[in-house]
Structure 1
Amino acid sequence: MTSKSQPAPVAGELGNLGWRGHAALQAAAAGQSVFPLLPGTKRPAIADWENAATTAPDQIIEWWRQRPYNLGVAAGKSGLVVIDLDHGRGETAAEPFTGCRDGREVLAQLAREAGQPAPWATYAVTTPTGGGLHLYFRAPEGSHYRNSAGRLGWHVDVRSHGGYVVAATSTYCGRQYRAQNRQAAAPLPGWLAERLDALAAPPQPAAVPELGPVTAPLPVTIAPGRITNYVQRIVDDELEELGAVAAGHGRRHGARLKAARALGRLVGEPRNGLAQDAARAALLAVAGRHVGVYRSPDGQPKSTTRHEVERDIDDGLAYGRNLARDIGAEITNRTAP
């Protein structure tokens, strides 16, 4: 990450910035786009934080003169990929991470599987919530990684474009984020970039485009005839509606349940020809775009995890299967004299 040339602020401007204001200027001098978070919180203090994040000293001074804000770094805009390693909270890791106690141990396992050392040799910040760690890496040229939650591994999140991290010197719950390793951010290791590239690849087996209405056919063989066409139209309509739902006030949660229940009703009747695995894959391909950090209508940052999406889909499918819908019978009833 290269430093960006900015006019140096005069000494008189710096007198009442506080140490977080000075930390913000130092981060900006290192090329990090910064913005204020409400004091003692993780919540942005300004609207449209990603576009507003800056390296400009004048704007930074104006912000931190007002209040002792916490310090946020817009990861993607800063050319960073931040690996967020969460503490395990005493939970039990599922396969393939059985035996791991937290995100650090999961990342170490991923490195071993790649035949590489764990990537600790980079700028890092410890979090105040009991063992969390943020590892800062320079993103490869031309990359555009997005946020993900738990997809890289158990208790391993990714912050890049569309995401931010709370920077060192900030406080939360009365405790401080602290720089653990003050060296410059290292380049993202090649093996880790390969894993992130794989996560960014189009979901399989359902070939759903990243944006726009869902038009890809459901990857399942259904018996030919009118039942096939009817079922396919229902599936396409549900997936398109699910893909168009905006975030906020639980709308996506409700939409995931609705779509999963509708497809579950089709799965519940074997004559419909829709397999459980195919329905689940198609739903995940669309709802997977709900994973990550977003801004709610009231301006608050919210997040959705992969686990939450899968839970909604599995719950909806199970509910729908108990209310099976016989498309063949419906067609027969409609065409009967």
Structure 2
Amino acid sequence: MIRNSALLRAALAAADRGWSVIPLIPLGKTPAVRGWEDRATTDPDRIHRYWADGARNNIGIVTGRSSLVVIDLDDSHGAHAPKRFAGARHGRDVLALLAARAGEVVPTDTFTVATPTGLHLYFRAPTGLALRNTTAKLGWRIDTRAHGGYVVAAGSIVRNGNYQVVRAEPAAELPRWLAEALTPPAPPDPRPPLRLPNTQAAAYVSAIVDGEARAVTAAEVGTRHIILLKAARTLGRLVGGGELTEHDARNALTAASAPHVGIAGYTTGEVERTIDDAIAYGKRLPRRLRSNI
């Protein structure tokens, strides 16, 4: 039996480090509360309430609220690495290759948690730089969680294993070379509207959506994140310009990604996070086509 006291102690230990925690469903990774980012806390009284009365909830650490960037290194699950990372069998192999190419060393002197399939490396977020979640941006089998994300914390137990601290030292500052690699490019200057007639604009938007959806569906393993990110940013710009509803953009991208889910470790959660982040980015650069918008 999973003991509530052990989970409670682990949640309090994370909060004692200054990290905001939330309850996750028992044996799972999904938040057990709505509005989880706003309900994350370091308050011991609230944490006791979250894990009161024998609650067996797992523990999540909300990374943005905790000023953390967590690098998630995952196993290949039997998949072959893309050519750029030939020979790699794990995200830690890819990180070693990236470090070598940058003339740096793999950062290991930091708080580290062993997961059922890999490692979580915890780092302090750089001051003044609001990094977001990423999926494979650094490289194959490497994800990151920062603003807008959370990680399953040490002490949690899922059906295929548990999360254990393997290095208990304080979280180190995110190395500069990794911060630079994770910093999104500056947005380009918005293009002026095409000012098309409504009927022509609608057909143009439909063609863009269809083209991006086809590209997402046709993406190969190792390129799926980048292609979905580009497609969602493109559609996000149309959403921001009022040319496309966010509902329609999400539906098109989700349907286009569906054939990939379950292949080489690709998950629905990854798809949703990528779409969320990229549409939000695109909306900052609204693209207008019709003359009356």
TM-score (norm 1): 0.60
**1:100 is aligned with what amino acid?**
A
Residue by residue, what CA displacement relative to the aligned partner does 1:39-68 show, whole Å, maximum 9, x if unpaired? 111111111111100011110011111302
CA contact (8 A) 2:228 2:275 kept: no
In 2 relative to 1, CA 19–237 (structure 1 residues): closer, same or farther, beyond 3 Å? same
Structure 1 residues without counterparts, runs of 5 or longer:
1-15, 210-214, 219-227, 243-255, 264-278, 292-300, 310-337
> Is the partner of 1:302 in helix, strand or coil?
helix
Q: How far did residue 285 of structure 1 move?
A: 3.7
Q: Separation in 2 of the partners of 1:96 and 1:169?
A: 35
Distance 1:99 1:56, change over 3 A: same
**Which residue number in structure 1 is paired with residue 185 of structure 2?**
201
- CA 1:123 to 1:259, structure 2 compared with 1: closer, same or farther past 3 Å? same
Secondary structure class of the residue paired with 1:145: coil
Q: Within 2, Cα distance between the matches of 1:125 and 1:169?
A: 10
Indicate the residue corresponding to 2:23 in structure 1. 36
- 2:53 matched to 1:86? no
Q: Which runs of 5+ in 2 are unaligned?
A: 216-226, 238-249, 254-267, 277-293
4+ residue runs over 6 A deviation: 228-232, 279-282, 288-291, 305-309
Task: Work out whether 1:65 is the aligned partner of 2:17.
Answer: no
Partner of 1:108: 96
SS in 2 for 1:169: coil
Distance 2:130 2:80 in 1: 32
1:167 to 136, 153, 173: 153
1:286 corresponding residue in structure 2: 234
Distance in 2 (alpha carbons) for counterparts of 1:157 and 1:168? 18
Mapping of 1:323-334 within 5 angstroms?
Answer: none
Q: Note if contact 1:208-1:216 (Cα within 8 Å) is conserved in structure 2.
A: no
Asked if the contact 1:150–1:306 (Cα under 8 Å) also holds between the matched residues in 2, the reply is no
Amino acid at match of 2:212: A
Q: Is the contact made by 1:149 and 1:305 (CA closer than 8 Å) also made in structure 2?
A: no
User: Aligned to 2:114, which of 126, 129, 132?
Assistant: 126
Q: Distance in 2 between matches of 1:124 and 1:235?
A: 51
Distance of aligned partners of 1:308 and 1:124 in 2 relative to their CA distance in 1, 3 Å threshold: same
CA contact (8 A) 2:63 2:150 kept: yes
Contact 2:81 2:88 in 1 (8 A): yes
Q: Secondary structure of the equivalent of 1:51?
A: helix
Are the counterparts in 1 of residues 232 and 275 from structure 2 also a CA contact under 8 Å? no
Q: What code does the residue aligned with 1:237 have?
A: V
The normalised TM-score by structure 2 is: 0.69
Please state whether the residue corresponding to 2:81 is helix, strand or coil.
coil
What amino acid sits opposite 1:60 in the alignment? I
* AA at the equivalent of 1:28: A
Deviations 1:158-179 (CA, angstroms, capped at 9, x unpaired): 1011111000110011521111
Structure with greater contact order relative to length (CA < 8 Å, sep ≥ 6):
2
CA distance in 2, matches of 1:46, 1:306: 18
In structure 2, the CA distance between the partners of 1:216 and 1:38, relative to structure 1 (3 Å rule), is: farther
What RMSD in Å do the two structures reach over aligned CA positions? 3.6
Question: Equivalent residue for 2:13?
Answer: 26
Structure 2 partner of 1:156 = 142
CA radius of gyration, larger in: 1
Percent identity over the alignment? 42
What is aligned with 2:212? 260
